[in-house]
Chains A and B, each alone.
Chain A
């Protein structure tokens, strides 16, 4: 029996001495870079300003109707939300009543009216009861039941939210420490985010009626100021036609109409923004190259009869296959990594230079995307090798593997495909591995079509890659059995 290291060396020599295969791998790396370049320079979003950034550095939506006055030092505000009604557009003319689950009306204290300012707020929502939220990404559910009384208390830098059904028994919903400075802005707010309809979203507008507004502590006197914050923000979808934000005082109560949201930005709030996954669309092109090389690495041997020589030189057929897989996978991994480490920074720079907002990621996430994409290419080439060993026809092997990757992706992009079916496709097919390129975060408090088409995958990044690795491993096992049973 030949030593396994010698077997590996033999397969590596075989691989590197065929110019076409080496070229194929180089082309794969190049395609990743070229498509990133193309995606970077083809975008032209000049004019749309940058998305506001929250205290945590993430892009946010900070657009809502704000009725406010300054608050210096400690103080509290209490109010009853007597009604919250939402409307959505009806085709071309006017609006009709509709349910906007995350429509928000309540009390807020924030550092300033600057976009992305720290804040804490307590609110009633369209369909999710009372919530305490702060700094865009944090969300705490309040007591269940018909709770309509809200209170927000500032004590130094700590804001605490309370809710009550009757005005006597108060429940603490949550508290938050913010950097507020001596004088904050506080008051009432109404937000009405986009509502999910079918596979898309629609803008909405909501109106809340407030009464029994009571202020204590360092509130400035005088009139309330009402304004739409973040009216020009790229993450604000605007009001439905013929509607606008407003507030009116009447008989001790206030009626406020607003649109927008206080939330982390998601795909649909920044439709023109890009992700690392978008910049790495060239992965598909590279996939085709590594799949072709992977299939040829074994089918060529069958066609030319070289397999007899190979098997004579290393008679353990399973070991030969394993050696091939290791050599092929390593080369594809290196090629993929070379492609991604160039493509990602280059694509991001180019896209930003062309005014495209790219969802920011941490260094570790960026590394995971680059390494994961290289691993995806490696596993795909090994899968092609395994399928090639079983079907022994390069064309059939290449087609099977490419279709297994690309078809789910195309089906997911079909507007008819229900979310459940799309999620299933990206969970059980090799296309699940694209989850490793995912950088967007799902927020339960933000309504958004969290579908693979919108770069939200049902599986965690490494879990998705594991699905593909499972296919490749299973393929190799089947191929080893088939190779052992069949005459070469």
Chain B
């Protein structure tokens, strides 16, 4: 496993793609967060919302490059045929796949930490200028605050889980384009479809099982009572999706011809 991990790490660092995608993830997350924080006004939002969640809104965009990276880590090898070289060098396929997952999770977690902390800093600097002040009952965003810390750690884990989910899906479909289509469908489409559902009971059920709506509950710091799912439970749903995708990917990788 150590040798496989080292090999996968070498693969990740010796091409420009992963570096660019991770950089893209950081830029996308921080930029959207900062842009949103600079257009919002406390009045327009009724001052009653959740500034932490709003400050970390960039994760909704930053997950896209994370998903692309997750898909490409294995989908790219299927595309070029290098998967055969990989499996020839590391014929214990589940070990090789696990090494990919660990290496991917590692780099996404590190870049995700930068991205999420950057967003939080942008929110801390920008939101008070737009009326999210102590006078309206909002303290500046700070890691010293328990729920905020949970939202930050949860967001980093969320980005990591999305990358792993993508890896699993790509291993199942063995195509980058189909893989990314399915992952983005799962992430972005389910919340949109939720709005088409008329029955509130179904709607809530969908919000509880959709990987993005459920997982981002971990960012909530106010009105926890009203959430369809509690923060950690929500992230656990996303983790379940990632685990299921990885398990399916590992199983198929093991039994199928390369």
User: What residues make up the interface of A, taking CB atoms closer than 8 Å to B?
Assistant: 35, 38-39, 42-45, 197-199, 272, 274, 278-279, 281-282, 284-285, 288-289, 291-292, 295-296, 299, 303, 351, 354, 356, 393-396, 398-399, 402-403, 406-407, 409-411, 413-421
Contact = CB atoms under 8 A, between A and B. Distances in A.
A409 B191 CA distance: 10
B192 interface: yes
Contact of A413 (B39, B195, B202): B195
B184 A407 contact: no
Interface of B: 36, 39-41, 44-46, 48-49, 54, 57, 60-61, 64-65, 67-68, 71-72, 75-76, 79-80, 176-181, 184-185, 188-189, 191-193, 195-199, 202
A281 B195 contact: yes
A281 B64 contact: no
Contacts, number: 138
Given A410-B191, A418-B39, A198 B198 contact: no
27 contacts: A35-B196, A38-B197, A39-B198, A43-B199, A44-B199, A197-B46, A198-B46, A199-B44, A272-B198, A281-B193, A284-B188, A285-B189, A289-B181, A393-B72, A393-B176, A395-B76, A399-B67, A410-B60, A410-B192, A411-B60, A414-B54, A414-B57, A416-B36, A416-B57, A418-B40, A421-B36, A421-B40
Nearest to A407: B61
A395 B49 CA distance: 35
A44 B177 contact: no
Contacts of B189: 284-285, 288, 406
Contacts of B49: 415-416
Given A407-B188, A417-B36, 6 more contacts: A42-B202, A351-B198, A356-B198, A406-B188, A411-B36, A414-B36
B192 A284 contact: yes
Which of B72, B76, B198: most chain A Cβ within 10 A?
B198
Contacts of A197: 46
Given A285-B189, A410-B191, A399 B61 contact: no
Contacts of A394: 176-177, 180
A98 to B, nearest CB: 14
Contacts of A409: 192
Nearest to B20: A396
Question: Considering the complex of A and B, which 4 residue pairs feature the smallest CB-CB distances, nearest first?
Answer: A43-B198, A198-B46, A281-B196, A394-B177
Contacts of A295: 177
Contacts of B72: 393, 395
B203 to A, nearest CB: 8
A299 B44 contact: no
A421 to B, nearest CB: 4
B198 A42 contact: yes
Contact of A416 (B54, B68, B71, B188): B54
Give the residue among A44, A281, A395 with the most B Cβ atoms within 10 A. Answer: A395
Given A278-B196, A407-B60, A292 B44 contact: no
Given A285-B193, A407-B61, A395 B45 contact: no
A407 B80 CA distance: 31
A291 B65 CA distance: 17
A378 B184 CA distance: 20
Contacts of B197: 38-39, 42-43
A402 B184 contact: yes
A418 B176 contact: no
B68 A395 contact: yes
Contact of A35 (B48, B178, B193): B193
A274 B39 contact: no
A197 B47 CA distance: 11
A345 B191 CA distance: 24
A42 to B, nearest CB: 5
Nearest to B197: A42
B70 to A, nearest CB: 10
Contacts of B64: 399, 402-403, 407
B169 to A, nearest CB: 12
A419 B44 CA distance: 8
Nearest to A277: B196
Contacts of B196: 35, 38-39, 278-279, 281-282
A278 to B, nearest CB: 6
Contacts of B54: 414, 416
B45 A403 contact: no
A274 B199 CA distance: 12
Given A411-B36, A416-B40, A395 B179 contact: yes
Query: In the complex, which of the residues A43, A291, A295, A406 has the most CB atoms of chain B within 10 Å of its own CB atom?
Result: A406
A418 B45 contact: yes
Q: Which of A299, A409, A414 has the most CB of B within 10 A?
A: A414
B181 A288 contact: yes
Contacts of B188: 284, 402-403, 406-407, 410
A284 B190 CA distance: 10
Contacts of A274: 198
Contacts of A354: 198
A222 B101 CA distance: 85
A418 B36 CA distance: 9
